[in-house]
Structure 1
């Protein structure tokens, strides 16, 4: 009788994290590490030539040809629907986790939790199950799913959503203020309130949230549709 084995590929741009995960996986007989990559370019090339069952991937891997985050995971799901994904990340804000879970990612491990949580996460992913490490479980439980599903931006007001869209399109706070005929202070306050409601602390995470929730696509029409004051 053949031994049960899960073929795993690792993707992370931090060598130290890769080394720690490899060491942990090596101690589990049911897991076989078949490849590793440091960005989406190497990962996609690896997936083309190396059969695997579960991909363990960092959420943020800049500089890759295929991007990162949810857009990368969706691409992988389209090309390789049989591969299950475990996300390993430091990001733990509700907006990012809401986007991940809504896109079908059900196994998420925080880098702030023990790396041992990857083992049950990989096994759960392989069987189509769900696994959140303690930190992620706490955040996921705190999300008001009904509220966030009502509109693209969760609980944002129309004007807050408008500011986020324009900011994600590349405009500065000053430029948004000029375009919407509001004061710079008002725009800054609306942007800050939007980030607070989304549980986002960094501008880069706000941009990522906007891109992954289709807000950037709407940015071009936001100013046209906005009422003039």
Structure 2
């Protein structure tokens, strides 16, 4: 049986009503309760004793984020830039008890230093909104004015979001925002 979903709420409803062996999910899929991604949902799904195999399909190539997904128990990760044949290869490898990383994902994860922690964080609604406005070109003090908060509060929310995602530099943040389509 095949089912589709536009967000994690629809995905959860489909999983409640449709028996399946595999879930293919983009981590950029809108999360429940205003979450910016499907990571929190995938974390809960991966903890279930009886669950389908989970294959994440993504454009994000940030090594800490990808390694964090593996720590969550995701069975396979496919970079959207890799060949379409990776989908069938992933099903085959995972069906035989393995874990699958497409070539671009394997390359990105191989560059993660051992001392660098893996992170697959979930941004709060406000952290996501700060990132969205920052990506649109607003400065921290402009975002603070918009929300009626201090610049220090907004800067803290920005840093907190970056920490959750394992982003250490402004360059990494800009690259992440580009990969999720905000820049």
1:173 aligns with 2:117: no
State the 1:120 CA deviation: 1.5
1:37 aligns with 2:5: yes
Question: Across the two proteins, how many residue pairs are aligned to each other?
Answer: 153
State the 1:105 CA deviation: 1.7
* Structure 1, gaps ≥5 residues long: 1-32, 154-164, 207-229
**Separation in 2, partners of 1:66, 1:51:** 27
1:91-144, Cα deviation, whole Å (9 max, x unpaired): 111232122122122411111111110111122223331111111111011111
State the 1:79 CA deviation: 4.5
Aligned to 2:168: 194
TM-score of the superposition, structure 2-length normalised? 0.64
The 3-state SS of whatever aligns with 1:109 is strand
Greater CA drift, 124-133 or 81-90:
124-133
Runs of 4+, deviation exceeding 4 Å: 63-67, 169-172, 175-178, 196-200, 203-206
Higher gyration radius (CA): 1
Q: Point out which structure has higher relative CO (alpha carbons under 8 A, 6+ apart).
A: 2
**Separation in 2, partners of 1:104, 1:200:** 27
Q: Is the 8 A contact 1:109 1:132 kept in 2?
A: yes
**Separation in 2, partners of 1:65, 1:127:** 35
Aligned to 2:107: 138
TM-score of the superposition, structure 1-length normalised? 0.53
Q: CA RMSD in A?
A: 3.9
Q: Is the 8 A contact 1:195 1:201 kept in 2?
A: no
The 3-state SS of whatever aligns with 2:68 is helix
Shift in CA distance, 49/169, structure 1 to aligned 2, threshold 3 Å: closer
1:61 aligns with 2:24: no
More strand by share: 1
- Superposition pairs of residues 1-229 of structure 1, within 5 angstroms: 33-62=1-30, 67=35, 68-79=37-48, 81-148=50-117, 168=127, 173-174=140-141, 179=152, 194-195=168-169, 201-203=175-177
**Separation in 2, partners of 1:205, 1:110:** 11
State the 1:179 CA deviation: 3.5
